[in-house]
Amino acid sequence: MTARRRHTAPLLLAVVSALAALLAGCATAPVDGPGPARPDSPARPDSPASSVQLVPPVDEASTGLPTPEGTLLVADFGADTVTFVDPQRGAIGSVRVGTAPYAVALGADGRAWVSTAEGVAEVDTRSRSLLRTITHRTATGPAETGEYRGGGMGLALSPDGSRLYVGVNIPGKNGALEVIDTASGQVTWVAPVGRRPFDVDVSADGREVYATGHDSFDVTVVAADGLSTRRIEVAPYGTKGGLGSWLKPHYAAVRPSDGKLLLPFEGERLAVVDPATGQVSVEPMTANTHQHGVTVAPDGRLLVVGSGPITRDDAGPSLTVRQPDGRERVYPLGLPHENVALSRDGRTAYVTGGFTRDGAWDGITLVDLDSGATRRLEAGHRPLGVVVL
């Protein structure tokens, strides 16, 4: 294990100030005041990304044809839309849902739920239309854009689809978990969780909800009945540096075999959290890059997005596929990415180019997990959350 990971963000930033514009995705603004000025997005180099021809979406909803199975639905964090993307042809339409859409959850009935700065949008994916918007009960300030905006972040449906759990960021404070009755569209309860809830997951039996607090180094375990809460610290590098630290949790996945939570850190450590006992164990990883989004396949494979380096010794952006026995294959991606979904046959990964900070690009990388071949598609503006319809 390299000694550099023991240092806090201020030291890292001193070493890598030249990379701050691209890779400041995990530092957070201080509680008081506007925080330091952030650099503009860097000019894109002449790279494979710049050669991608991004064509405007063609809205096919007016044809009356149903949305094809296997279409992707992505949240356009840099706009106010979700975009439907055909994995072969690219974007085929979009729906306005609200400011800075972050995450998407898909129900068995074809309804999609999208977290935004104002609340949660309910979308009919078959007709590609907005059904309603459910405003937050929690006060989050004006609807804004950018990584630090208030409002909905991670979200997840209960196994029976009757409840939606939404992590709400309250700028400068700990967050909240709002519970929405999906039939009535009402916020029925609110529970306290950690700071900036990047991700929300639900246990297989639906009895517990897990909110990953990025800026509080924790997972809050919330009982679905009664909404009692327990905090589990998840900080394999420690918490030194506080809000300025880079080495925080981002996204989690529930392991199918035993219900434990899997949280990757820096391509070096995988935190395995037992929500029943609160115990955290650490396993080695191999990508050696800053990591964000995750998903887990039914067979237990863990897919982890590497967004790119935070020191000069780090490797570039990548996708890691980790087998249940710990073996890993790392696929280079070349550009920053944020989140990932898996095709229904388990052979293709869809990795969104949105990224929560500077360095985002407007597309999706498709990764053939057998051959390692990649190709890129246009996919709305700063695509972040993604599901497969």
**CA 307 to CA 315: how far, in whole Å?**
10
The DSSP secondary-structure symbol of 17 reads G
| CB distance 216 to 250 below 8 Å | no
Instruction: Give 283's contacts (C-beta < 8 A, 6+ positions apart).
Output: 269, 270, 272, 326
Structural tokens at position 140: 């989050």
pLDDT in tens, 134-151: 999 999 999 999 999 999
C-alpha angle with apex 78: 77 to 82, nearest 5 degrees?
Answer: 55
Give percent of the chain with pLDDT exceeding 70. Answer: 83
Q: Exposed/middle/buried for 300, CB within 10 Å: 0-12, 13-18, 19+?
A: middle
Whether the per-residue pLDDT at 80 is higher than 50: the answer is yes
Give 358's pLDDT tier (boundaries 50, 70, 90): confident
Cβ 383 vs Cβ 340: under 8 Å = no
pTM of the model: 0.87
What average pLDDT is seen over the chain? 87
Contact status, residue 178 vs residue 136, Cβ threshold 8 Å: yes
Lowest mean pLDDT: which of 188-197, 217-226, 349-358? 349-358
Strands (E), 99-252: 104-106, 111-115, 119-124, 129-135, 151-157, 163-169, 176-181, 186-192, 197-202, 208-213, 218-223, 229-233
Q: Per residue in 109-168, pLDDT tens? A: 999 999 999 999 999 999 999 999 999 999 999 999 999 999 999 999 999 999 999 999
Q: How high is the pLDDT of residue 30? A: 34
Residue 297 has pLDDT above 60, yes or no: yes
With vertex at residue 165, the alpha carbon angle to CA 164 and CA 167, rounded to the nearest 5 degrees, is 145
Is pLDDT at 23 greater than 90 in this prediction?
A: no
CA distance 248 to 233: 11
Grouping H, G, I as helix, E, B as strand and the rest as coil, residue 262 is strand
Q: Which residue has the higher pLDDT, 61 or 254?
A: 254
Average pLDDT (177-196) is 98
Provide the percentage of residues in the chain whose pLDDT is more than 90. 79
Return the amino acid letter for 324: P
Question: Residue 357: which pLDDT band, with cuts at 50, 70 and 90?
Answer: confident
pLDDT range class, residue 365, cuts 50, 70, 90: very high
* Nearest-angstrom CA–CA distance, 107 and 176: 22
What is the pLDDT at residue 328? 98
d(CA 263, CA 265): 7
Instruction: Give me the pLDDT at residue 244, please.
Output: 87
End-to-end CA distance of the chain: 40
- How far CA 262 is from CA of 124, 275, 280, 329, in Å, comes to 31, 11, 10, 17
What is the predicted pLDDT for the residue at 141? 93
Average pLDDT over residues 237-241: 95
Q: What pLDDT score does 249 carry?
A: 98
* pLDDT value of position 280: 98
What are the tokens at 87?
A: 């994995």
Residue 64 pLDDT level (bands cut at 50, 70, 90): low
* Residue 294 one-letter amino acid: V
Please give the Cα distance from 363 to 338 (Å, whole number): 11
More confident residue, 39 or 258: 258
**pLDDT value at residue 31:** 31
Indicate the range of 65-69, 133-137, 295-299 predicted with least confidence.
Answer: 65-69
Fold of the CATH domain 45-388:
Methylamine Dehydrogenase; Chain H (2.130.10)
Domain boundaries, the chain: 45-388
